[in-house]
Amino acid sequence: MSAPVPKKSLGQHFLRQRSVVDKIVDAFGPEPGETVVEIGAGEGALTLVLAPRVAALHVIEIDERLVAQLLQQSEKFPNLVVHHADALRFDYCDVCPAGTRIRVIGNLPYNISTPLLFRLLTHAQCIDELWLMLQKEVAERVRAAPGNKDYGRLSVMVQQQCVVEPVLSVSPGAFFPRPQVESSVILLRPHRPTPYPISHVDRFNDIVRRAFSQRRKTLKNALRGAIDAAQIRAAGIDPNLRPEQVSVADYARLSRISP
């Protein structure tokens, strides 16, 4: 069977450089007894290296052409389960064995990486680690600290739930077709428990969204209608700060103020 032509509509860039695959898998360190979920298995570059080394490998692939190829591989690896599914709709906790947590790895399509990150965070209770290849620009936004130009809503939302660590950089030449941007692999470890507790997820999401939708304004102006300046000051936060100057801990504190 000939290799399928990558679909631009699905953001497909297949990882083909074996040295990069080996670096990623070596850093990931698969263990014999664990359950791993791979997002966007594609041509199976990571799949074929991971499958012999874990107890169960669930791969998610939306492209039916690639699913057919992956199903052929599942004949060699009885522990390989192929899901023809949309990673944005997949229930990650559904494949998690009772009393354990899964590890997730994947080369996320650039065109859905941010919504997919948010989707994965809603399943953090059953995920031990997330090893994700992202567009370098997105990875930098995820990791950014307050005061950094890349610090924003994505930074706060991810860091409230996870520790973020860089793993390695990947050049465009590792993929086919060659993307126009650099990529980065990052590791997300969900906090247990979070050092930034919140009372209501929706309230936290709303506060962070409001702040960064008007990031050039002061915090008191960006949050007008949700929290007033006196409440911000009472929480120990300067209401004249810009949203990108406010820490994750302070956003969590703001979200605990009653509307």
Tell me the CATH number at 104: 3.40.50.150
- For residues 80 and 154, state if they share a domain: yes
Domain total of the chain? 2
Give the pLDDT of residue 2: 56
The residue out of 190, 215, 234 marking a domain boundary is 190
Contacts of 69 (CB under 8 A, 6+ apart): 1, 4, 43, 44
- For residues 86 and 165, state if they share a domain: yes
- For residues 149 and 205, state if they share a domain: no
Asked if residue 135 is part of any domain, the answer here is yes
Range of the domain at 249: 201-255
Asked if residue 152 is part of any domain, the answer here is yes
Give the pLDDT of residue 123: 97
- For residues 165 and 221, state if they share a domain: no
The residue out of 136, 169, 190 marking a domain boundary is 190
The strand pair at 102-107 and 127-135 is best described as parallel
- For residues 220 and 175, state if they share a domain: no
The residue out of 190, 212, 240 marking a domain boundary is 190
Asked if residue 195 is part of any domain, the answer here is no
Asked if residue 170 is part of any domain, the answer here is yes
Low-confidence ranges of the chain (pLDDT < 50): 1
- pTM of the entire structure? 0.92
Asked if residue 2 is part of any domain, the answer here is no
Contacts of 125 (CB under 8 A, 6+ apart): 93, 190
- For residues 77 and 133, state if they share a domain: yes
- For residues 222 and 96, state if they share a domain: no
- For residues 34 and 79, state if they share a domain: yes
- For residues 241 and 153, state if they share a domain: no
- For residues 206 and 94, state if they share a domain: no
- For residues 219 and 120, state if they share a domain: no
The strand pair at 80-84 and 162-170 is best described as unpaired
- For residues 155 and 240, state if they share a domain: no
CA dihedral 24, 25, 30, 36 (to 10 degrees): 70
Asked if residue 3 is part of any domain, the answer here is no
Give the pLDDT of residue 120: 97
Contacts of 77 (CB under 8 A, 6+ apart): 51, 52, 57
Asked if residue 116 is part of any domain, the answer here is yes
Tell me the CATH number at 221: 1.10.8.100
Q: Report the SS3 class of residue 184.
A: strand
Give the pLDDT of residue 6: 57
Give the pLDDT of residue 3: 63
Asked if residue 96 is part of any domain, the answer here is yes
- Answer for the pair 232, 254: CB distance below 8 angstroms, yes or no: yes
